[in-house]
Chain A
Amino acid sequence: MRRLSFAEAVREAMVQEMERDPTVFVFGIGVPSHAKIFGTTAGLEEQFGAERCFDTPISEESMTGFALGAALRGLRPVHVHIRVDFLLLAMNQLVNMISCYNYTTGGRTPIPLVIRAIIGRGWGQGAQHSKSLISYFTHVPGLKVVAPTTPVDAKGLMIAAIRSEDPVIFLEHRWLHWAVDAVPEDAAASPIGTARVLRRGRDLTVVAVSWMVVEAMHAADILARHGIELEVIDPRTLAPLDVDTLAASVSRTRTCIVADCDWVFSGFSAELAASITERCFGQLTKPVRRLGWAHTPCPTVRALENVFYPNAETIVHVVEDMLGCGPFDLAGVDFYNHENRFKGPF
């Protein structure tokens, strides 16, 4: 099978859906410009014309309302935000309008709309350009939230999101755009609402979100060399959440780490820890441990960014602590190859 990057997979999903369904269109600030939203919108304007792929004024609140209106009258908009932070300008439309529109019309109104937002770090992005806001969206009934981590899921879930009759927030960690894997050519949707077990293991379950899946898999590789087998689960859809798969795993391993791509306090990881404790109470041999960002705005300097973000090394140390093993020799392991790969500015 041919191999695609995550970014190419997102792009291919949109292209195939636009070819299949003339009501699909893609728009947002910078969408047709030469930077092409990290390449994910490349070629769309050329293939489908400015009618179906266009830029907008810098008016986030109103362009989100615009997407709702278009969805109400039979189009399927894909609205793109190059930083999830900018969605804060559109929270009124998202929370007060889009999430409850179907409900307040007695369930009679499909809202087929996708909001793509880029989350996560680059370097030096700082307090206003590196949030995730996962728990903001997942807290609100009526919004579906997906955060794929593999190119295959990126394609499958983008297709599912576009075909969904409900609003879907599609969160893409910008570093995941580089991930490359074999991706099927046909346009098949992955089901929204199911988790994926990425790696089987007997000793401890790691539930990881978005970029932290990469770190968790890295940690699993390292620990496997020392005889520790991690089970790594990617929820893929954050709302509605597939608790059954998570609970089944934790029932076997009896220990769980939640690795979130967001602040810990009052966040998605709090929900996961609570749900798992509720479902697996009595089976757990240790409290559920949570990893996430330091409870501060994101600083811009690398020296602090490295402290702010947990990574595979953090996971390894937490596993050592929870299982009472190690400390393992980590000499020679590069925990910062992604950070070092990234060159600025954008």
Chain B
Amino acid sequence: MTDVTPDPKDRHDRLFRTALLIRLVEERIIDLYPSDCIQSPVHLSIGQEAVAVGVCEPLQRNDLLFGTYRGHAYYLARGGDLNAMFAELFGKIGGVSKGKAGSMHLAAPAVGMMGSSAVVASAIPHAVGAALAARVRNTNQVIVTAFGDGATEEGVYHESLNFAALHGLPVLFVCENNGLAVHASLAERQAYRMIDQARLYGIPAETLTDGWDFLAIADATDALVREIRRDGRPRYLEVATYRSREHVGPAEDFGAGYRRRIGLEDWQDRDPLIQDTDRIARLTPEITAEIDRAEAFARASPWPEHEDLLSDVV
């Protein structure tokens, strides 16, 4: 989020704290969900936090990021307000979008979180368009679009890659490859390799296999963002990551038969948000208090009224 080079240990702490915040927020959501106070379909990021944390770290405030419906992590990593997020999930007027967006459309333009779409791949051309605007207006912004591996099957993904390459636009394509589109595996869906294809589009591309390692992701992103700022041309980052929960909703679904629990265990053995017990113990109390406050804020916030129904239409 900042330009100053931080002390490495501070940086590690800071990134860890953001990742842990995301984890604990989503665990709170899981706790609250059965009570139905959050009536919004949630696509949880548990297991994928490090990608959002690493990708957002090198971005400047006026750089823009377009996310997906699995968007809690990006919203928080970009510095979106926690109270407004909880109020949005609760559907209250204090929500970031007055209770009209819910979980799938979290946005915070003030910190460059530009919203997301519940239709797969729909936001990718938005990032390319925003990059076109950055070029026309000479703003020196870097625009990031984060998407899942399923999005690369949509035609509009190809249209967007081609246009960004053709016009040399300052976009960072970030593919969060969790190997699943809803419940279908990569092999059922793709007869190509994403990273090779991106390179053939003429877009320098990098792939990371350790999707839990937010420091490595932040370093790689930082290098790519610097290159984009230097030459104004697109870059591509693919990160292998792991979705631990069901496609939508708070539960695990290893009983459903489409994937195996052993993958989860492999992941958990490496996940710093489980293994780094010292940091977890040190940071959890203050983060929990922060979440308590946000939840209380959401509960206290009023419901939107009838006049809010018809506002902001045209």
Chain A contacts to B: CB under 8 angstroms: 29-30, 33-35, 55-59, 61-62, 85-86, 88-89, 122-129, 294-297, 299-304, 307-308, 343-346
Chain B contacts to A: CB under 8 angstroms: 33, 36, 38-42, 91-92, 95, 99-105, 117-121, 150-151, 153-155, 181-184, 188-190, 248-250, 253, 256-258, 303-306, 308-310, 313
> Which A-B residue pairs are the 5 nearest by beta carbons?
A301-B91, A300-B102, A124-B40, A345-B249, A33-B183
List 7 contacting pairs A-B, 8 Å CB cutoff, sorted by A.
A29-B184, A123-B40, A300-B99, A300-B101, A344-B39, A344-B40, A346-B41
B residues near A294, Cβ cutoff 8 Å: 309-310
B residues near A125, Cβ cutoff 8 Å: 41
A residues near B151, Cβ cutoff 8 Å: 58
A49, chain B: closest CB distance, angstroms = 15
A residues near B39, Cβ cutoff 8 Å: 123-124, 300-302, 344
B residues near A62, Cβ cutoff 8 Å: 155
A344, chain B: closest CB distance, angstroms = 6
A81, chain B: closest CB distance, angstroms = 12
Please classify the interface of chain A as helix (H, G, I), strand (E, B), loop, or mixed, using the class held by over half of its residues: loop
B residues near A88, Cβ cutoff 8 Å: 119
A125: nearest chain-B partner, CB-CB:
B41
Report how far A127 CA is from B103 CA in the complex, Å. Answer: 12
Let me know if A345 and B91 touch, CB within 8 A: no
Let me know if A126 and B102 touch, CB within 8 A: yes
B251, chain A: closest CB distance, angstroms = 9
Please classify the interface of chain B as helix (H, G, I), strand (E, B), loop, or mixed, using the class held by over half of its residues: loop
Let me know if B117 and A128 touch, CB within 8 A: yes
Given the interface pairs A307-B306, A346-B248, the reply to whether A34 lies near B105 with Cβ below 8 Å is no
B38, chain A: closest CB distance, angstroms = 8
Report how far A129 CA is from B104 CA in the complex, Å. Answer: 10
A85, chain B: closest CB distance, angstroms = 7
Other A-B pairs beyond A57-B189, A301-B39, 6, CB < 8 Å: A89-B154, A127-B100, A295-B310, A307-B309, A344-B33, A345-B41
Let me know if B119 and A304 touch, CB within 8 A: no
Let me know if B303 and A59 touch, CB within 8 A: no
A89: nearest chain-B partner, CB-CB:
B119
Report how far A307 CA is from B150 CA in the complex, Å. Answer: 35
A residues near B306, Cβ cutoff 8 Å: 307
Partner of A33, one of B91, B120, B154, B184: B184
Residue among A33, A58, A89, A304 facing the most chain B CB atoms (10 A cut-off): A58
A33: nearest chain-B partner, CB-CB:
B183
Given the interface pairs A34-B253, A296-B310, A303-B91, the reply to whether A122 lies near B102 with Cβ below 8 Å is no
Report how far A303 CA is from B91 CA in the complex, Å. Answer: 8
B residues near A124, Cβ cutoff 8 Å: 39-41, 91, 102-103
Given the interface pairs A85-B119, A301-B99, the reply to whether A345 lies near B183 with Cβ below 8 Å is no
B66, chain A: closest CB distance, angstroms = 15
B residues near A55, Cβ cutoff 8 Å: 184, 188-189
A residues near B95, Cβ cutoff 8 Å: 301
B153: nearest chain-A partner, CB-CB:
A57
A residues near B188, Cβ cutoff 8 Å: 55
Let me know if B102 and A301 touch, CB within 8 A: yes
Let me know if A61 and B155 touch, CB within 8 A: yes
Given the interface pairs A122-B41, A302-B39, the reply to whether A128 lies near B183 with Cβ below 8 Å is no
Let me know if B182 and A300 touch, CB within 8 A: no
Given the interface pairs A57-B190, A58-B154, A346-B249, the reply to whether A300 lies near B91 with Cβ below 8 Å is yes
B154: nearest chain-A partner, CB-CB:
A58
Let me know if B257 and A34 touch, CB within 8 A: yes
Let me know if A303 and B41 touch, CB within 8 A: no
Let me know if A33 and B258 touch, CB within 8 A: yes
Report how far A346 CA is from B40 CA in the complex, Å. Answer: 9
A residues near B303, Cβ cutoff 8 Å: 301, 303
A residues near B253, Cβ cutoff 8 Å: 34
Let me know if B92 and A301 touch, CB within 8 A: yes
Partner of B150, one of A35, A58, A304: A58
A residues near B103, Cβ cutoff 8 Å: 124
B312: nearest chain-A partner, CB-CB:
A296
Partner of A301, one of B100, B104, B155: B100
Residue among A58, A301, A302 facing the most chain B CB atoms (10 A cut-off): A301
Report how far A287 CA is from B313 CA in the complex, Å. Answer: 28
A343: nearest chain-B partner, CB-CB:
B36
B75, chain A: closest CB distance, angstroms = 15
Given the interface pairs A34-B257, A57-B153, the reply to whether A304 lies near B308 with Cβ below 8 Å is yes
B99: nearest chain-A partner, CB-CB:
A301
A299: nearest chain-B partner, CB-CB:
B100
A92, chain B: closest CB distance, angstroms = 11
Report how far A71 CA is from B155 CA in the complex, Å. Answer: 23
Report how far A171 CA is from B43 CA in the complex, Å. Answer: 26
A residues near B104, Cβ cutoff 8 Å: 126, 128-129
Residue among B36, B39, B305 facing the most chain A CB atoms (10 A cut-off): B39
